[in-house]
């Protein structure tokens, strides 16, 4: 029974790690950075990114200007 419990825990951790990896991959950051993140950082950056998207939706007139052109991206 103990072995079955260990296998279940291992499978759960593998699934969680896979989802964390996918979440990190979806962040708008270079893979050189996202590949170095721990789980807490992935969650923190993801929630910050989602909050930013709520405050500044794509295509809104409050979108920051692109530094080189001065126009919205």
What is the tens place of the pLDDT at every residue in 7-54? 999 999 999 999 999 999 999 999 999 999 999 999 999 999 999 999
Residue 72 resides in a domain: no
Residue 36 resides in a domain: yes
Number of domains present in the structure of the chain: 1
Residue 43 resides in a domain: yes
Q: Which two tokens stand for residue 3?
A: 């072995």
String of DSSP letters for 18-62: HHHHHHHHHSSS-HHHHTT--HHHHHHHHHHHHHHHHHS-TT-TT
User: pLDDT band at residue 71, thresholds of 50, 70 and 90?
Assistant: low
Phi then psi dihedrals of residue 65, to 5 deg: -75, 150
Phi then psi dihedrals of residue 72, to 5 deg: -60, 145
Range of the domain at 16: 2-55
Residue 48 resides in a domain: yes
């Amino acid at each position: 029974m103990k072995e079955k419990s260990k296998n279940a825990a291992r499978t759960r951790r593998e699934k969680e790690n896979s989802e964390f990896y996918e979440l990190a991959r979806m962040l708008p950051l270079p893979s050189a950075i996202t590949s170095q993140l721990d789980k807490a950082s992935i969650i923190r950056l993801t929630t910050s990114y989602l909050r930013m998207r709520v405050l500044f939706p794509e295509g809104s007139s409050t979108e920051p200007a692109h530094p080189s052109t001065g126009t919205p991206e």
